[in-house]
Amino acid sequence: MNRTFCPACRRYFTALERCPVHGSPLSPLPRDWPVTASRFGDYVLSAPIAAGGMSRIYRGTCERDSRPVAIKVLNPALVAQAHTVERFFREARISRLLDHANIVGVEAFGVSEGGHPMMVMELLGGESLEATLRHGPIPWPRAVHIAIQLCQALGHAHSRRIVHRDVKPANVQLTGTPGPDERALLIDFGIAYVASDHAFTQAAPGSLRAFGTPAYMSPEQIRAQPLDGRSDVYSLGVVLFEMLTGRRPYQHADPAEVCRMHLHEHPPSLRAAAGGSVVLPRALEGVVSQALSRDRASRHAGVGALLAALEALESLPPDTRRRGLARTRPRTLVGQTATLYGVPAVATGTRQQGAAVALLHVSLAMSNGEDPADAPEVAPKVSALISAWRARVERAGGWVQEPALASARAFVGLLAPGESGRQVVLRAIQLFDTLRASLPAFEEAGGPPVTLHGGLVMRADREAADPERGLVLGDVDAEAAWYLALASPGGALLIGARARFAIGDAREVEPVPSVARPADLAALPAWRLVESP
């Protein structure tokens, strides 16, 4: 299905010819990389300075203060893939929530006038740790100095419920001269795992699948279990092992075999891997061995404990060894309000009495419990089903975001402020019914047996926190809709309190037990929508 975008509001669509907000014709997606002197807000792109499979980094300039910046641009060949675009912006949103001297900052992100997804970052010099290690292992004092800074960055992220999930040399940038002034920065939070609460009891929306680079994944990460900071401790242990020895603890050409080794084999001796000519403190061997324990209960309790062990080894003057886990730097945030789960934090325009937005979260679960994304023969069919539903939502005046392969969020009323809560909630319910009604035909056409789960919340204009900005949706709304969908029986739609009272007696509902939201230990009152006869 072809996708288009609006150059004015920078949103992507799939089934419309004109923007529902501006009425202007929609433009086709870009097919080529942006040219030199292309603009993105206050930023001007110049020459590309680095490239990868999914994106290209350009040198740019901020016209407000003539400051050099780095601008990351998604590969135009991938812009048509909704999930890839979502992952790109997810990295930007998570990075905006972090403010630490050892984490690369993102100061702005969005879609350019040409339709290119972009994010503006700090321009860094130096080289990646991966490039440094191509020349062989590095002295242990330097390795410890780098690991300490990574502990500080990870501790800051963990305090915000974020597990990086891809700590590896390619995601560490080194700047400055090796020594006390060398700076290590953690980059690329594109596959970060977000916990539902600070106790890391379960994953938050968008964090439920097994992601990572096999050579650096923790055993629990490979098993797709709920993660906490100890998963990053394990990955950092692998990086430490590689810095000290020039090789990874588990090496094989087959990634599946590497995963098996992580799960079932003991890592080789650090001293033996480093070679007899390299002298390492025995205490450092113990630190790395503990970090690489397959049983996470046997690892350091968190990066704070690992940091303390490393600082005891650091060969720097005593007055430079005291570092905090949350050292921050000032940053000017530009553009969208930071939001964790991708809910558009934008005003609905002119405030009107009774304006409301309904947020409908739907998810599809296979009857055998398998994740559709992990089944190559199933994934395209499920993706096509969601895409077809997206087109129906857009024709009904809604806007859809797909945070994962088998789930989507529909926002009704966001593009047409002024409608009452009753109107937008009833239209959202109708869209849920439409998707449910399409499932029998989907299975008859060869699709896998799936069950539909839904959660619906509403926010009204009078609840806006900032009268100047109008109606704003935030992470709390996304979490509420997701937890309601998670708790709904197969084929059912659970609705929140505001949505329930907005529809009045227009549809029959029945109360169900409150749904727990671990993020803040709140209980969400819920009602089950009774199907129409």
C-alpha gyration radius of the chain: 24
Exposed / middle / buried, residue 502 (Cβ in 10 Å: 0-12, 13-18, 19+)? buried
Closest CA to 58 of 44, 66, 47: 47
Which of the 8 DSSP states describes residue 25?
Answer: B
Choose the catalytic residue: 166, 228, 232, 477: 166
Which of the 8 DSSP states describes residue 203?
Answer: B
Helix H or strand E encompassing 95: helix 82-96
In contact, 204 and 366? CB cutoff 8 Å: no
Ranges of beta strands (E only) in 347-479 are 356-366, 398-404, 407-412, 450-460
Closest CA to 271 of 288, 257, 258: 288
Q: CA torsion, points 127, 131, 136, 139, in degrees to nearest 10?
A: 30
Q: 371 an active-site residue?
A: no
The strand pair at 117-121 and 106-111 is best described as: antiparallel
Closest CA to 464 of 417, 496, 518: 417
Closest CA to 121 of 89, 88, 84, 95: 95
Count of Cβ atoms closer than 10 Å to residue 22 Cβ: 13
Active-site residue numbers? 166
